[in-house]
Amino acid sequence: MNNHSVVTATDLTKTYQRGREEVHALEAVSFTVHRGEFVAVTGPSGAGKTTLLNLIGCMDTPTRGTLHIGGRTAHELSERERTRLRREHLGFVFQHFSLLPTLTVAENVALPALFARRFAGARVDQLLDKVGLAHRRGHLPHELSGGEMQRAAIARALVNDPPLLLADEPTGNLDSATGETIIALFRKLQSEGLSIMVVTHNAALAAAAGRRLELRDGRVVAQVF
Ligand SMILES: Nc1ncnc2c1ncn2[C@@H]1O[C@H](COP(=O)(O)OP(=O)(O)O)[C@@H](O)[C@H]1O
Ligand SMILES: [Mg+2]
């Protein structure tokens, strides 16, 4: 690990218990994501991609191995410290957008700042401008297209200014033309210094990343630069 590491995983292992059977979702996975890197995680269904993202997102704990995030060792933190790490160092984007239906676009974007007890005001406007949704700030999610919903979700993920964005199949619900606008947005964010780790089956999205981590049966089988 060095100062430019946003995430360093060492021998990360996750074993689930399914009845009597052990499921080896991840086996001794090691890698580093540096500041400003854009990494795609690929591999067939069941390879362990979501498990990996959940571990990095501190939503689950590894069976073995260590995870350094923003200079902290995840498993050494208390629940409260982990919540804070999640809030300040990580942004999350999902396939199904996960916007709250009764809140406007601007309110959705501001929500993580509220939980962090921060005032988001100007930051919300700045982010909506960045993702091209300034004109939609007062709309409800159901009034948006899929691409607009995902751009709102990306703005929301960035409101606390995290160094790392984690995305699980962010273009999975979008047609390929709309997916291209999300890819372009990721590239722009990366050029501004954001680190991005994205799980994807979308070849264009994987190709846009600077590095590809290919998983199969819980192991890294290839790293393509
Ligand atoms: N909570 C769980 N309990 C038991 N097995 C699980 C659980 N979550 C995932 N798995 C298993 O772990 C393996 C990896 O799953 P997952 O990380 O979701 O893969 P991917 O996202 O690449 O499709 C699969 O065999 C899956 O069935
Ligand atoms: Mg998955």
pLDDT in tens, 78-112: 999 999 999 999 999 999 999 999 999 999 999 99
What mean pLDDT, rounded, does the chain reach?
94
pLDDT band at 25 (very low <50, low <70, confident <90, very high): very high
* Protein residue closest via CA to atom 16 of ligand 1: 48
pLDDT of residue 208: 96
CATH of residue 20's domain is 3.40.50.300
pLDDT of residue 120: 83
Rounded to the nearest 10°, the torsion over CA 14, 17, 22, 28 is 10
Mean per-residue pLDDT, 138-153: 97
Distance from residue 15's CA to the centre of ligand 1 (Å) = 9
**From the CB of 17, is ligand 1 less than 6 Å away?**
no
Q: Higher pLDDT residue, 148 or 4?
A: 148
**Structure-block tokens of residue 131:** 């993702």
- Rounded to whole angstroms, the Cα distance separating 71 from 94 reads 25
Per the DSSP assignment, residues forming a β-bridge with 224 are: 212
pLDDT of residue 102: 97
Question: To which residue do tokens 């500041």 refer?
Answer: 35
* Protein residue closest via CA to atom 1 of ligand 1: 16
Distance from residue 118's CA to the centre of ligand 1 (Å) = 35
Taking a C-beta distance cutoff of 8 angstroms, is the pair 204, 179 a contact?
A: yes
Q: How many domains does the chain have?
A: 1
The string of pLDDT tens digits covering residues 163-206 is 999 999 999 999 999 999 999 999 999 999 999 999 999 999 99
Residue 59's domain comprises 5-224
pLDDT band at 37 (very low <50, low <70, confident <90, very high): very high
- Rounded to whole angstroms, the Cα distance separating 216 from 213 reads 10
Q: Which ligand is nearest to the CA of 45?
A: 1
Tell me the whole-structure pTM to 2 decimals: 0.94
Distance from residue 25's CA to the centre of ligand 1 (Å) = 6
